[in-house]
Amino acid sequence: MPHLTSHSSPLTCSSTLFIALILIFSQPNRSTAAADANATGRHRQMSFDYYVKSCPQVEQLIGSVTSQQFKEAPVSGPATIRLFFHDCFVEGCDGSILISSKPGSKELAEKDAIDNKDLRAEGFETIAKAKSLVENKCPGVVSCADILAIAARDFVHLSGGPYYQVKKGRWDGRISKAARVPPNIPRANSTVDQLLKLFNSKGLTLADMVVLSGGHTIGFAHCQQFLSRLYNYKGTKQPDPVIDPRLLKALRMSCPQFGGNKDIVVPFDVTTPFLFDHTYYANLEAKLGLLASDQALFLDPRTRPVVQDLSKDKQKFFQAFGAAMEKMGMIGVKRGRKHGERRRDCSFHG
């Protein structure tokens, strides 16, 4: 999903507006596999059955928590998936996003960075619950980083998306600094050039970027993330000329230029907001992208063909998304005590 500054909050805007959005933009569903992760030495030590002897029931334990969370608080899905993206893009997939700032410390942890201030509590709660259950059965064995990767996969599948295998064997990182977040997180108004530079720096390709952005098929964004598109696009004092007029009208109802409710959110995918599918791409073709960084993927001639390809074939998107998530899940993996630890409490670095 990744334009990672996007917010996965529950829909708190009026039900009238939400129903209007669904009615206005309901349309029939329209039917690049990412490259494999580089096989570096540390990656070869990771495997799908890493815990087969030390904690064979780890995925079932985590699955019992994610399924319950999905029933009780559906927002846990996009919240946890977003948490995984934010973890991997800063310091690698090492659970450093889960560490709390030390009381009295002048240096804040990642989770308290301004760019992470709207990360939903449900994501952190899901991981804490899963970690507690796993620790009870397999103390000191499974890393927080692996639990987060598995939980994110579970929520993709529970939301209607693909089920893909997760390689395991990550260790938890010891470094978590808020100052390292801003240069590593995409913005809601990032250009394709900016996005490509960032994703390439993580070892991800243009195709990976477009595929992972499809995570915006579920989740929500606060008005502030796209307000300039509605009223003052690039300083013109006019709305973004690309945005569909019907969507513009609906969004302005929810998000006034001044004095609006900061808690109001709008779904990324205005046609099937609670279903993990490929409609996100069809929306971009129809000028129904919510964030400027989303819509830019269709406007740019380099990324448009990938958008068009994925909008036609849900199974192709699912296959590509699973492969891209596996590749992203290898970013900056920590291995061994020299580089990492296995935290008993995901929020506390000993």
Question: Is 217 within 8 Å of 310 (Cβ atoms)?
Answer: no
Beta-carbon contacts of 324 under 8 Å, excluding residues fewer than 6 positions away, are 34, 204, 207, 208, 211, 212
Instruction: Cite the active site residues.
Output: 86
* Residue 38 confidence (pLDDT): 38
Question: Is 328 within 8 Å of 207 (Cβ atoms)?
Answer: no
Separation of CA 111 from chain center: 15
* Residue 241 confidence (pLDDT): 96
CA dihedral 330, 83, 166, 153 (to 10 degrees): -150
CA distance 277 to 269: 10
pLDDT in tens, 69-88: 999 999 999 999 999 999 99
Burial of 338 (0-12, 13-18, 19+ CB in 10 A): exposed
CA distance 193 to 70: 36
pLDDT in tens, 239-261: 999 999 999 999 999 999 998 88
Burial per residue of 200-224, b for 16 or more beta-carbon CB atoms within 10 angstroms, e otherwise: eebebbbbbbbbbbbbbbbbbbbbe
The whole-model pTM stands at 0.88
CA distance 248 to 233: 12
Beta-carbon contacts of 283 under 8 Å, excluding residues fewer than 6 positions away, are 25, 269, 270, 271, 289
pLDDT in tens, 48-66: 999 999 999 999 999 999 9
